[in-house]
């Protein structure tokens, strides 16, 4: 299992994971900086975990380094968990009184809703989940 075979197997899925991280980051920046949507505390925690993925995954691509899977997952898994928590809050499964943002912008407010169910936290869950899945797939491919 030499580095070149690693790169052969792993480069493409990590590249797609990076692409999703880039789309999510630019999307979040567009909502926040261009459209001036208010950014709630939970959104900030998700941003904290999403933004560095664009840099870490890119560094792991040139030259391909399989360790990037570990570092990427360390950000993507907690990110997905926070996004899931956020969505449960929006849907109302987690009651109001245990939500962490009491002051300022309430996290349970939905700013966008495409096709009736696609909210920003839903996009966030999808992005973090896909990145996690791609990184796990890379791991399996390399270690087969």
The first and second tokens of residue 80, run together, are 């997905």
- Using the contact rule CB under 8 A, the part of the chain among 21-29, 43-51, 85-93, 134-142 near other proteins is 21-29
The first and second tokens of residue 68, run together, are 């990037």
Cβ-based burial of 37 (10 A; exposed 0-12, middle 13-18, buried ≥19): middle
Q: In the stretch 42-71, what mask flags binding to other proteins with x, by CB under 8 A?
A: ----------------x--xx---------
3-state class (DSSP) for residue 118: strand
15 binds other proteins (CB under 8 A): yes
From residue 83, alpha-carbon distances to 54, 109, 128, 137 in Å are 18, 14, 8, 21
Of 11, 37, 51, 71, the one binding other proteins by CB under 8 A: 11
Stretch that binds other proteins, among 19-27, 65-73, 106-114, 126-134 (CB under 8 A): 19-27
- Residues at the site binding other proteins, with contacts judged by CB under 8 A: 11, 15, 19, 22-23, 26, 29-30, 33-36, 58, 61-62
């Amino acid at each position: 299992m030499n580095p070149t075979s690693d790169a052969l197997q792993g480069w493409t899925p990590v590249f797609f994971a990076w692409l999703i991280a880039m789309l999510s980051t630019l999307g979040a920046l567009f909502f926040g900086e261009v459209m001036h949507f208010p950014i709630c505390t939970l959104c900030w925690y998700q941003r904290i975990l999403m933004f560095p993925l664009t840099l870490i995954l890119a560094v792991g691509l040139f030259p391909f380094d399989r360790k990037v899977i570990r570092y990427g997952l360390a950000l993507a898994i907690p990110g997905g968990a926070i996004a899931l928590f956020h969505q449960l809050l929006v849907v109302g499964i987690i009651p109001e009184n245990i939500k962490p943002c009491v002051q300022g912008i309430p996290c349970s407010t939905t700013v966008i809703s495409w096709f009736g169910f696609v909210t920003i936290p839903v996009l966030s869950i999808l992005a973090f989940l896909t990145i996690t899945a791609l990184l796990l797939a890379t791991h399996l491919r390399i270690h087969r």
